[in-house]
C-alpha cells in the first residue's frame, strides 16, 4: 500500500456522508472505530456548515474486538432511530470496520425498523469518495423511487424536470443550483426535485413525476439518472453548462427535451466573458500555456473553455477520477497531448514541471504545487480549502458562472505581470525604498538597509575563487554566476522557471561549466527561433 501526505479523494464512506449531509430526513449509521469520526470536520470546518452531519458512529474500541461488535452496531442503529426519527436510514462500514465483516445491512434489517433502511456496500480498498457518493445516491434512488408516479398530461402545463447531482462539500454546488434554476425558469421549465442537496427521502419518491432529468455532475448523478431513464422512461441531459459555449449547448438540449424555444434565452445571454476575452490585451491570454487537473467534470470543462473561449494553449490535462479516464483521454487527444490519470500528487507535480505552464488550473493540491514553482494558479475543482467556499455568490455554471471563471482565471496572470513590474522597478533610483514620496519633496530618506550598511563592520575580503575550466562534462545543471542570477530575476516570475530550465538545458548540451549572462541570452535566442 502506498503512503501519501495528500489525497485527492477520501474513502467511499466519505462520499456516502456527502449525500447524507446534503439531504434532510436521512440518517447514516456508520460502523466505525473510535478515530474514524474525523469526517465531521470536513463539513463543519471546511464547508462552514452550521450543523454536524447526520451521522451516528458505533465508535467501537480495541477491547471491543474480542466481544460482540455486531451487538454494538445494532444498539447504535436502534438508538439513532429513536433519537432522530428519520424518514430513512443508510447503514454501512468505514474502511477499518469493513475488515471485521459484521454485515451492517443484515444486522439493521433484523431490527425491522418501520422506515426504509438502505444498506451500502462500499469497498474501501478498491473505490474512493466520488464513487461512494454516486453509489449511495443510486442506491437511495433505486430504493425510494422504484414506484412510478403518474405524470400529468403535457397539455396545458409547463414542462417539469429534476436537478440531480449537487452534494455537501461540493465545489460551488450551492451557487450552481441557483444558476441552473435561473436558466430553467427562463425557459419556462419547473423544477420538481433538486437532489440530493436539500431533498428528503419522501422527495426522492416523487422523482418519476418529472418529464426529464438534468445531471449537473456526472460523477455523482449519472448512474441514478440512467436508472430513472431505464425504469421510468425519463431522458436526461448531462451536458455540463460550464463556460458560455457549453451553457448554450445545455440550453438547446434542455429546450429540445422540454419542447420549448431556446432562442429568447440564448439571445439574452448575459455573460461578459466573450467580450472580455476579446478586449483584454493578448499578452494576458493568447497562447498562454495552461495545465489543468481536477475531477472529470471540471477538468473537461476547463480544457474546452481555455482553448476555445480564452485562447490559452492546453499543455497538460488530467484527472484523479479514474471512472472517467476515457473521456479525459479523448479530450487530451483533441489538444495533441497525453492525459494524466493519477491520484498521486507527486506525479502531477512532475507533470507540471515538465510542461512548464504559465497558469495552473487545479485543486488545492495544485495550488500548493504552483506556489512552490512560482506559477499562477486558480482552483477549479475539489478537493478544496475553506477559502473556496466563499460567502458571496460564486457559481461555475451558467452565464454568470462564465463571468466568475474569467475573473478567477485571468486575474492571476494580470497580478503576475503587476508583481513583475514592481520587481523590475524596485532598484530604480527614483522608485526604490529609500526615496521619499515625490509629492512631499525634501531629501530622500535613508533606508533601513543603508543605515545597517553604514554602521556595520567592514566586510572581510572574499576568498579567491578557484579557476573554472572552459569546458567540462556536467551531469546536473551548471552553476549560475551571480550576475546571471540577477538578470534571471528580471524575467517575469510566471515564466522564470521555463527560462531557467531552458538555459540549464542549453548549458548542459554545450558542456558549459558556468551559466553567465551571455549564456542566458544565447539560450533565449536559441529557443526563440
Which CATH number do you get for residue 497? 1.10.8.550
Question: Catalytic: 281?
Answer: yes
DSSP class of residue 198 equals T
109 assigned to some structural domain: yes
Both 283 and 255 in one domain: the answer is no
Both 296 and 373 in one domain: the answer is yes
What is residue 472's predicted lDDT score, i.e. its pLDDT?
A: 41
Q: Of the candidates 244, 266, 288, which is a domain's last residue? A: 266
Distance CA 57, CA 250 (A): 41
Both 114 and 233 in one domain: the answer is no
Both 295 and 375 in one domain: the answer is yes
Q: What residues make up the domain containing 296?
A: 273-421
- Kindly report the backbone phi and psi dihedral angles of residue 135, in degrees, each rounded to the nearest multiple of 5, phi listed first: -65, -40
Domain count, the chain: 4
Residue list for the binding site: 36, 416-417
Both 243 and 277 in one domain: the answer is no
Residue list for the binding site for [4Fe-4S] cluster: 36
The CATH number assigned to the domain holding 187 equals 3.40.50.1980
What is residue 49's predicted lDDT score, i.e. its pLDDT?
A: 87
What is residue 473's predicted lDDT score, i.e. its pLDDT?
A: 44
What is residue 4's predicted lDDT score, i.e. its pLDDT?
A: 60
354 assigned to some structural domain: yes
Both 398 and 520 in one domain: the answer is no
What is residue 40's predicted lDDT score, i.e. its pLDDT?
A: 75
Q: Say if CB 178 and CB 393 are below 8 A apart.
A: yes
333 assigned to some structural domain: yes
- Kindly report the backbone phi and psi dihedral angles of residue 441, in degrees, each rounded to the nearest multiple of 5, phi listed first: 70, -165
What is residue 62's predicted lDDT score, i.e. its pLDDT?
A: 59
Distance CA 453, CA 459 (A): 10
The residue with cell 429513536 is 82
What is residue 451's predicted lDDT score, i.e. its pLDDT?
A: 45
Could you tell me the end-to-end alpha-carbon distance of the chain, in angstroms, rounded to an integer? 47
Both 313 and 356 in one domain: the answer is yes
The pTM for the full model equals 0.81
Set 281, 295, 407, 433: catalytic member: 281
Residue list for the binding site for substrate: 416-417
Distance CA 97, CA 30 (A): 9
What is residue 442's predicted lDDT score, i.e. its pLDDT?
A: 47
Pick the closest to residue 380 from 312, 295, 494 (CA basis).
Answer: 295
Q: Say if CB 437 and CB 305 are below 8 A apart.
A: no
Distance CA 362, CA 353 (A): 14
Q: What is the mean pLDDT of each run of 10 residues along the chain (529 residues)?
A: 73 94 96 77 85 88 65 91 96 78 83 94 89 97 91 87 96 97 96 97 96 97 97 96 96 96 86 80 81 97 96 96 96 97 95 94 95 91 91 95 93 63 53 54 50 50 44 63 87 74 90 90 84
Q: Say if CB 29 and CB 77 are below 8 A apart.
A: yes
Both 120 and 49 in one domain: the answer is yes
Q: List the grid coordinates of 181.
A: 434554476
Q: What is the mean pLDDT of the chain?
A: 86
What is residue 477's predicted lDDT score, i.e. its pLDDT?
A: 75
Amino acid at each position: 500500500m502506498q503512503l501519501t501526505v495528500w489525497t485527492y479523494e477520501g474513502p467511499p464512506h466519505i462520499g456516502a456522508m456527502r449525500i447524507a449531509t446534503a439531504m434532510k430526513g436521512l440518517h447514516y449509521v456508520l460502523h466505525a472505530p473510535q478515530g474514524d469520526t474525523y469526517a465531521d470536520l470536513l463539513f463543519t470546518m471546511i464547508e462552514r456548515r452550521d450543523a454536524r452531519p447526520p451521522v451516528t458512529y458505533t465508535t467501537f474500541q480495541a477491547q471491543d474486538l474480542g466481544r460482540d461488535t455486531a451487538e454494538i452496531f445494532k444498539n447504535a442503529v436502534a438508538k439513532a432511530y429513536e433519537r432522530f426519527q428519520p424518514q430513512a436510514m443508510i447503514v454501512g462500514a468505514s474502511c477499518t470496520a469493513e475488515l471485521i465483516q459484521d454485515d451492517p445491512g443484515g444486522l439493521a434489517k433484523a431490527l425491522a425498523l418501520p422506515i426504509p433502511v438502505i444498506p451500502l456496500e462500499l469497498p474501501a480498498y478498491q473505490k474512493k469518495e466520488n464513487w461512494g457518493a454516486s453509489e449511495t445516491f443510486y442506491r437511495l434512488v433505486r430504493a425510494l423511487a422504484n414506484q412510478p408516479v403518474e405524470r400529468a398530461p403535457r397539455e396545458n402545463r409547463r414542462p417539469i424536470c429534476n436537478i440531480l447531482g449537487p452534494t455537501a462539500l461540493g465545489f460551488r454546488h450551492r451557487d450552481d443550483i441557483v444558476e441552473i434554476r435561473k436558466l430553467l425558469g427562463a425557459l419556462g421549465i419547473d423544477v420538481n426535485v433538486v437532489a440530493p442537496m436539500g431533498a428528503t427521502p419522501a422527495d426522492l419518491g416523487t422523482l418519476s413525476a418529472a418529464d426529464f432529468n438534468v445531471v449537473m455532475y456526472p460523477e455523482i448523478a449519472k448512474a441514478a439518472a440512467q436508472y430513472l431513464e431505464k425504469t421510468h422512461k425519463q431522458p436526461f441531459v448531462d451536458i455540463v453548462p460550464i463556460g458560455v459555449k457549453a451553457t448554450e449547448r445545455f440550453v438547446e438540449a434542455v429546450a429540445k427535451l422540454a419542447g420549448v424555444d431556446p432562442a429568447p434565452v440564448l439571445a439574452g445571454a448575459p455573460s461578459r466573458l466573450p467580450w472580455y476575452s476579446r478586449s483584454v490585451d493578448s499578452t494576458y491570454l493568447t497562447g498562454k500555456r495552461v495545465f489543468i487537473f481536477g475531477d472529470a467534470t471540471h477538468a473537461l470543462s476547463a480544457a474546452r473553455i481555455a482553448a476555445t473561449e480564452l485562447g490559452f494553449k492546453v499543455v497538460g490535462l488530467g484527472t484523479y477520477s479514474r471512472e472517467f479516464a476515457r473521456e479525459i483521454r479523448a479530450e487530451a487527444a483533441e489538444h495533441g497531448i497525453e492525459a494524466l490519470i493519477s491520484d498521486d500528487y507527486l506525479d502531477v507535480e512532475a507533470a507540471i514541471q515538465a510542461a512548464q505552464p504559465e497558469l495552473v488550473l487545479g485543486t488545492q493540491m495544485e495550488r500548493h504545487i504552483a506556489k512552490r514553482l512560482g506559477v499562477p494558479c486558480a482552483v477549479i475543482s475539489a478537493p478544496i480549502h475553506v477559502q473556496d467556499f466563499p460567502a458571496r455568490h460564486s457559481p461555475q455554471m451558467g452565464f454568470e458562472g462564465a463571468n466568475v471563471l474569467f475573473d478567477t482565471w485571468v486575474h492571476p496572470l494580470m497580478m503576475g505581470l503587476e508583481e513583475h513590474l514592481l520587481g523590475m522597478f524596485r532598484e530604480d533610483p527614483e522608485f526604490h525604498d529609500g526615496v521619499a514620496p515625490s509629492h512631499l519633496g525634501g531629501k530622500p530618506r535613508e533606508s533601513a538597509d543603508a543605515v545597517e550598511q553604514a554602521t556595520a563592520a567592514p566586510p572581510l575580503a572574499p576568498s579567491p575563487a578557484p579557476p573554472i575550466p572552459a569546458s567540462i562534462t556536467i551531469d546536473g545543471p551548471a552553476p549560475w554566476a551571480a550576475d546571471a542570477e540577477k538578470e534571471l530575476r528580471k524575467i517575469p516570475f510566471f515564466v522564470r522557471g521555463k527560462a531557467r530550465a531552458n538555459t540549464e538545458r542549453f548549458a548542459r548540451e554545450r558542456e558549459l561549466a558556468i551559466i553567465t549572462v551571455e549564456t542566458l541570452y544565447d539560450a533565449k535566442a536559441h529557443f526563440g527561433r
